[in-house]
Amino acid sequence: MASRARGARGWGGSRLAAIDWAMAETAAALDLPLVAVAEKRQFLRGTAVTLPPGCADVGLRGSPNLEALSLVAPDLILSSNFYSFVEPQLGRIAPVFTQNMFIPTVPALPKALSGLETLAIQLDQGEVGHLVRQDFETAFDALRARVTSFAARPFVVMTVGDARHVQIYGSDSLYGGALRRIGLTNAWDGDTEFGFNAPVPLSRLIDFPQAHLVIAGALPVTARRAIGQSALWSALPPVRAGRVSYLPDQMPFGGAPSGLRFASHLVTALEAA
């Protein structure tokens, strides 16, 4: 996605470490020199980006290994409002640049897209950030053009916790923003919690008989087996009508790359239905 600007950058050799995953994706989309990421293995399981060879793991996002972080000697540490409590310790290692992409009731995707430009400007490469953002906007526009026939149908985007509970993603989530960006309607207009989703009983899906259900991420084996045997699940109108899409593992707290990846997987699933 960032290839159009690659090679024309000149980041001044800045070495970046990311505590926040959305910021890590933002940096990777800009082809920045990431030398460390928190929870690297888990990050790589769901991210839409690749990391440079030798990128180090600096421990947990909420409790980074400060010694490991010091050893990679970053010039700038990327963080967010989620980790403000550890910012004083981070600031003793290197300057900290924070962007808050996930704020309750505020759509996340527009902030993720603008975050591409904001981070680039921070490194005196505003034009590159603008070009990369335009690449993302163009990709979203292309996906939007492919799903116009689905625009009248509401969508429920969710993950499955167990056979009796689901988490439905609201308009302030990355997935909700991606839905809106490609011209689709989020059926859930209720409140969300910390994860920008609403943990609800499976029975709440009865309220959305006309919806298309989207399961964002692989189902746990036990949940898949239990749902397959659930009379309630089988009786839901969207399930009976075959309006259920199963997507690969996603990253709900990623940046613009994960928003685009979710939208791309959804469009592909809808076209194959």
Q: In the chain, what are the domain boundaries?
A: 16-143, 147-272
The proportion of the chain whose per-residue pLDDT surpasses 70, expressed as a percent, equals: 95
The predicted pLDDT at position 2 comes to 45
The proportion of the chain whose per-residue pLDDT surpasses 90, expressed as a percent, equals: 82
Across all residues in the chain, what is the average pLDDT?
Answer: 92
Q: Return the higher-pLDDT residue of 165 and 265.
A: 265
The predicted pLDDT at position 8 comes to 38
The whole-number average pLDDT for the span 251-267 is: 97
The predicted pLDDT at position 55 comes to 98
Condensed to tens digits (0 to 9), the pLDDT of residues 125-138 reads: 999 999 999 999 99
Assess whether pLDDT exceeds 60 at residue 7.
no
Asked, colleague to colleague, whether 16-143 and 147-272 share their fold, the answer is yes
The predicted pLDDT at position 191 comes to 78
The predicted pLDDT at position 150 comes to 98
Which CATH homologous superfamily contains domain 147-272?
A: Nitrogenase molybdenum iron protein domain (3.40.50.1980)
The predicted pLDDT at position 50 comes to 94
Other CB atoms within a 10 A radius of the CB of residue 85 amount to 9
The whole-number average pLDDT for the span 6-33 is: 82
Mention every residue, 6+ apart, whose C-beta is less than 8 A from residue 259.
Answer: 108, 109, 112, 113, 174, 175, 177, 178, 181
3-state SS track over the chain: CCCCCCCCCCCCCCCEEECCHHHHHHHHHCCCCEEEECCHHHHHHHCCCCCCCCCEECECCCCECHHHHHHHCCCEEEECHHHHHHHHHHHCCCCEEECCCCECCECHHHHHHHHHHHHHHHCCCHHHHHHHHHHHHHHHHHHHHHCHHHCCCEEEEEEEEECCEEEEECCCCHHHHHHHHCCCEECCCCCCCCCCEEEEEHHHHHHCCCCEEEEECCCCHHHHHHHHCCHHHHHCHHHHCCCEEEECCCCCCCCHHHHHHHHHHHHHHHHHC
Report residue 12's pLDDT band, with 50, 70 and 90 as the boundaries.
Answer: low
Assess whether pLDDT exceeds 60 at residue 67.
yes
Report residue 40's pLDDT band, with 50, 70 and 90 as the boundaries.
Answer: very high
The predicted pLDDT at position 6 comes to 45
Cα angle 90-256-22, degrees, rounded to a multiple of 5:
20
Condensed to tens digits (0 to 9), the pLDDT of residues 232-243 reads: 999 999 999 999
Assess whether pLDDT exceeds 70 at residue 221.
yes
- Is the pTM higher than 0.85? yes
- Of 43-52, 107-116, 174-183, where does mean pLDDT reach its minimum? 43-52
Q: Return the higher-pLDDT residue of 150 and 190.
A: 150
Which CATH homologous superfamily contains domain 16-143?
A: Nitrogenase molybdenum iron protein domain (3.40.50.1980)
The whole-number average pLDDT for the span 209-235 is: 90
